[in-house]
């Protein structure tokens, strides 16, 4: 079983699609852990703010199978097949890490580069796994977050409810 961190985000009908993403994760993986949900400005383009969180799953899916399954979930929830990287989206699911693999496999860059430069990925990852070491930087996510210029991207933790649980 592989330990995988996934980033989930939405800036169109945000609550609806974050819930849909979490429901899809539960169907695909069963139980999983998750960070708090954060509200932050769109990065890289002008658009509505995003809700973002990180989930941690264990899966027997190989990386290519996982990428295909996650893409299908995005498409099922309104993501355009030809959506550009910096654009509004109902549901965005990114593979951040897959065990400690490094490099590009099955079209997936591991670890995902934005871990190191986007607060909406690093902060929830540091919250969930503060002692886990980034496989390239060689520092824990907690240390990376403490060293990050936290004034560069403002995030606000928001109350969120899913399946009767508040987080």
Tens-digit pLDDT string for the chain (167 aa) = 999 999 999 999 999 999 999 999 999 999 999 999 999 988 876 789 999 999 999 999 999 999 999 999 998 987 666 666 666 789 999 999 999 999 999 999 999 999 999 999 999 999 999 999 999 999 999 999 999 999 999 999 999 999 999 98
Q: Could you tell me which residues come within 8 angstroms of residue 101 by beta carbon, excluding any fewer than 6 positions away?
A: 63, 110, 135
- Number of structural domains (the chain) is 1
Q: Could you tell me which residues come within 8 angstroms of residue 18 by beta carbon, excluding any fewer than 6 positions away?
A: 8, 10, 37, 51, 53, 91, 160, 162
Residue 95 lies in a domain: yes
Contact by Cβ (8 Å): 8, 21: yes
Q: Could you tell me which residues come within 8 angstroms of residue 11 by beta carbon, excluding any fewer than 6 positions away?
A: 42, 47, 48, 49, 50, 51, 88, 89
Confidence at residue 73, expressed as pLDDT on a 0 to 100 scale: 96
Confidence at residue 162, expressed as pLDDT on a 0 to 100 scale: 97
Residue 121 lies in a domain: no
We report the CATH number of the domain holding residue 45 as: 3.30.70.560
Nearest to 49 by CA among 78, 24, 20, 12: 12
Confidence at residue 14, expressed as pLDDT on a 0 to 100 scale: 97
- Among left, alpha and beta (phi > 0; psi -120 to 50; other), residue 21 is alpha
Residue 51 lies in a domain: yes
Residue 124 lies in a domain: no
SS3 149: coil
Backbone angles phi, psi at 120, to 5 degrees: -70, -10
Q: In the chain, which residue ranges form alpha helices assigned H by DSSP?
A: 14-29, 63-76, 119-128, 141-147
Confidence at residue 88, expressed as pLDDT on a 0 to 100 scale: 78
Confidence at residue 84, expressed as pLDDT on a 0 to 100 scale: 61
Nearest to 70 by CA among 95, 46, 90, 89: 95
Residue 117 lies in a domain: no
Residue 24 lies in a domain: yes
Q: Which domain holds residue 78?
A: 2-111+154-162
User: How far, in Å, are 1, 63, 107, 118 from residue 113 at the CA level?
Assistant: 23, 17, 14, 9
Rounded to two decimals, the pTM is: 0.95
Whether the link from the prior residue into 111 is cis, omega within 30° of 0, is yes
Residue 49 lies in a domain: yes
Residue 135 lies in a domain: no
């Amino acid at each position: 079983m592989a330990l995988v961190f996934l980033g989930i985000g939405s800036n169109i009908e945000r609550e609806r699609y974050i819930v849909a993403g979490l429901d899809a994760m539960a169907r695909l993986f069963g139980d999983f852990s998750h960070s708090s949900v954060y509200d932050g400005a769109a990065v890289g383009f002008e658009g509505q703010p995003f809700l973002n969180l990180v989930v941690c799953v264990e899966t027997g899916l190989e990386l290519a199978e996982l990428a295909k399954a996650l893409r299908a979930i995005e498409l099922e929830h309104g993501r355009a097949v030809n959506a550009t990287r910096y654009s509004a989206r109902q549901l965005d699911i990114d593979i951040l890490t897959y065990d400690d693999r490094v490099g590009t496999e099955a079209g997936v860059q591991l670890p995902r580069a934005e871990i190191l430069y986007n607060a909406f990925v690093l902060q929830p990852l540091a919250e969930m796994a503060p002692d886990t070491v980034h496989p390239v930087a060689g520092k824990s996510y907690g240390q990376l977050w403490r060293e990050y210029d936290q004034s560069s991207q403002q995030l606000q933790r928001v109350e969120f409810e899913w399946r009767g649980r508040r987080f």
